[in-house]
Structure 1
Amino acid sequence: MLDVTAVRTSVLPPYAAHLRVYEPLAAYPEPERSHWQAYAAERGPDAASAGEPVARAALEAQRGALAELLPFASRAVPAGAAPHRPGAGEQAFVRELDAVTYVCPWATRLRSWQALEELSESLPVALLDAVLPQAVRRDALLAQERWRADHPDARPWILTSRWEVPVRWFLPFGAEDRRYRPAEPGQGAQPGVPAALFYLTPMAQARKRVARGYRVLRERLAGSPLTLGAEQVGRWLEEFHPRSLVELDYGGLVHAIGEPELAADRSAAELAEGLAALREGDVERAGRAYQLVAERWRRVLALRQAN
């Protein structure tokens, strides 16, 4: 059975992983560029090196989201600016690397619409109505349709997956992109720092790996879920500036997975090994590598049903 990481904090982030793209400031047109430049200058970076996670900023974002729920009636998406045009209150994760500032906007309303679609597909109608009344959902979907009509090419900078990291998300990364930081115990009244596990790589390298993986999957496993998933990831990455950064963050999943398992997790390397074997025609070795990754995440996903 997986161990549970103890975290000394009053709020835990959801058991979700995130695939993020950080675009350089130069990628944003005005007035977005000026907005994010001022935002980054005022707050400073959430991570000032490639080895530093944005976990603390992500936890603060979760605390803020929970606090906003308290004084309001049920609503499907937060009020605010259009998803692609930042206004007051719009926020982002900021990374600084080699003296370049990179920004990953939260695009909260756009991601809330997407989460609402997923929620509608995953919950029984009676439970869904209890969480979000039908009238609230209808208003949110009408607002989304109006906005989508004017922004048909809109895409979020952040993809979220609850209770697992989809295997296709490891395609953009290599073993050298892995960053693991063990948990740090608290001292006195100060809470401890939870473990963090994430991957970070330049966009050019991410696209190259996904394209190479997709080619071998299409040749050997055409029509398989992993092949279709590789195509989806590749299309999403193509939407962003070529000098962006791509990050896979285990996020709140570190609180569901024990530290020994986190320290031993080499999912990206195992998937890369499987693709290399598949490229060489060694189907048996490729299958073993894939099973290692898939089975690891099936065990984590099974925790969703645990009492």
Structure 2
Amino acid sequence: MQIELLDCFLDLVETRSFHRTAERLGVTQSTVSARLQSLESAVGARLFSRSRAGTDLTTEGLRFESHARLMRRDWNEACRAVAPSGDAALTLRIGVQNDLADAYIGDIIRDFAHVFGQTAFYVEPDYSSQMCRDLVSGAQDFAVMFTPHPHPDLHFVSLGDVIYRLISTEAQTRAQIDPASYISGNFAPAFEQAHREALPELIGAQLAVGQSTTLASLLQAMGGTGFVMADKAAELVATGRFHYVSDVPAIGQPIYAAMHLRTRATKSRRKMTRILARRFNTPLTSRD
């Protein structure tokens, strides 16, 4: 069976639209229809029903979906298993939340490499939603992220929090913050909610960014006020140009390890999770 048929089917499961799936896959609607017909012919059942109300999975399609996900994942794993990786016996594809990459990626991969001999690592900073999709499809093996996206094929483990501190070139108290020079950090939904509760008067800032490193660079170039990761905040405060905003509490952003449900009990996933739990110093709790 061609993997393109499974990709087409699984994309249709998400979009329920032949037009949208064609756009996402970069093919024509007739190609999508042809691929679906080929798949239905191969499995001997109709997988979708089309009507004016839309496109829906048939009973057979619902039964086939979980098998399709597993087949696509197994295919991706098989391709990676035979891909050249030098002298390494194993390749692990690791996703790391963009905002964690600058401060933590070196230490994380160093710790992993110390434990996993003869292992090659492919590391890609990304956002939580894309990493979850990559874990489901088998394009990634393990991820460290801010925002779990619930999915029946995914397993999440809470690791702890990273801390953000509010610093400023001009304000030492909340009352002194100038909204016109405030830079909002849109790092993740949990952070945004905590920020909204802590500083409701600063909602709707003129400038907002999605990474702590970028926000720190903007503060250094332009001045102003904003949340950055605690280590970077301490570094900037040490220069003498920045101050902590003393009466605004730090905000903690939860971190999670994520993996496919089928691999959660493997030694490699358990070891990686323990390494990360020690680094972030928190007891482990699971979210299935």
TM-score in terms of structure 2 length: 0.25
Structure with more strand by fraction: 2
Larger RCO, structure (CA 8 Å, separation 6 or more): 1
Higher Rg:
2
